[in-house]
Structure 1
Amino acid sequence: MSFLACRVFKDSEVQHQLVQMDTDELSSGDTLIKVDYSSINYKDALAASGRGAIMKTFPLNAGIDLAGTVVESANSELKEGDAVIVNGCGLGESFDGGLAQYACVDSSFVMKQPASYSSRDSMIIGTAGFTAALAIHRMEVNGQTPDKGPIVVTGASGGVGSFAINLLSKKGYETIAITSQSTMHDYLKDLGATDIKTLSDLELSDKPLAKGIYGGLIDSIGGETLSKLMANVDLWGNIACIGLAQSPKLQATVIPLILRGVSLLGVSSTNCPMDLRETLWNQFGNESPLPDFEKILSKEIALKDVSPYFDELIDNKHRGRLLVNCQ
């Protein structure tokens, strides 16, 4: 069976191509899925553009998430036609990913799609929405509450940031959205941001312990920004670390951790346990009202048209989510 895929190769350099391939060329797995929708995440953009060392082997189809229907499976719990989701678990990193019309995966990575929303909704959420939900979950398990103060969200106009702001606002948190783009202010307000600032507005100091004015932080950029913001998190606040767009380095001291009880929490959507993964995915369908899927959607793209969007996403030319229609 021939189908279209966005396949990443490594010769003298890493580059992607849109190719026709057969299902018997896919990574081995016990479940074949017809992909309806995928998305372009920051990690996908790094992998397909060659601007980040994401993939463990080559060639490989890009795409760290997918929603589609089961074609066949050796697992008796998965039937032909079942609507399913796969995100993380090595998809698009160690085995062929979702930016293709078919994918073959291990059934242990497959989750049945919640009935309350469609495959399209699932991939508007995608790994970005799931990561935001996981970050908030980790913070709240560790005692985060709205009365501890506002949550700072860096990279606010990106996929994770957009969902974090929307989900936090629905839970009653004040949020401070950090963005350098004035054109994003109305968008972020519409998602529920309480306040919108640039990094320079925060006037971050180099002190290891500054005034405690934030209840917590969801950070997608790392580096100096994360290091300095830690000093402003108040007593028993939580920091969810989900990205490294600025830098993977952390030059902070332990002082906020040992004098204020601040917790630095790692958030890994790739290897989240399946029981928690299912709980968080189903959470989106239980929210009342539902998360603002369409507001967070930047653009819907056909699979054949994905190529320009990898560099554009890295260069911050899109807000929210880039949905890919693979049908």
Structure 2
Amino acid sequence: MRVLVTGGAGFIGSHLVDRLMELGHSVRVLDDLSAGSLDNIKRWLDNERFEFVKGDMKDPEVVRKVVDGVDVVFHLAANPEVRIGSQSPELLYETNVMITYNMLNAMRDSGVKYLVFTSSSTVYGDAEVIPTPEDYAPLEPISVYGGAKLAAEALISGYAHTFGFRALIFRLANIIGERSNHGVIYDFINKLRRNPKELEILGDGTQRKSYLHVSDTVEGMLKIFEHFKKSDKTVDFYNLGNDDWITVREIAHIVSEEMKLSPVFKFTGGVDGGRGWKGDVKFMRLSIEKAKKTGWRPRLNSYEAVRRTVRELLQPKTF
């Protein structure tokens, strides 16, 4: 395939690029490097099947140029930080909704056949059904981030049905692993490096969520995409997560163990019943039965994914 990966120098995007290149595809990456790093894709820069374009998706002309000649767009570019919504909803609109709108207009004019979009479990809000299936309704996000992801989903569905391309939407649990530069594990490691004797934990520590290692995420995306291409669906939705879940307190213990520390845990108490911040979904576990019917299943459970991620993030970077 000729593939465009937006956000391809970022955390999940760069792992997807690695796998696509290993499988022999031709890959073009569009990234403004605001959150991503060229180090993540450095190994491919001189490969004849690889092209890197530094550009801002808020510019429609940039997007029009990069979609030219590709078969499929994996649209991963976004601001990944859920918490920023309470401080800067404008930024989440620009980096989730506006750039998706620009991509859809470019696809409409270019004849690209497929769009694969990484959405989020946050579109479900405080779901009353756990594990939460893809057909859960009504979707009621409790964060601006979740709202922006749901708005992007709706735009994608409308454009696909109207303009004749096909779209696969993944609702992701908490994705973790090497190269991640935000999230609870990353934060805990940095806090303990600054003060090994004490660890501040946002909320009351009982927040319980599902975590998926990025290697399992990428394999799931590619396997389900192949399955989707053989189906007759114009738009389809798949959860990607794990069958189990883990509390923030348990994550803090794993990080401390791996760093060989015994800090005092200091809980902030949080907001709205022990949440880490306004808009934090306290309990999240997605049903992955639909994904498993395609033959995919995660190799690491949430606990194993967390421990492996801690070890990966503690390793010195070698490029």
- TM-score band, normalised by shorter chain: 0.3 to 0.5
Structure with higher helix content:
2
Structure with higher strand content:
1
**TM-score for the superposition, normalised by structure 2:** 0.33
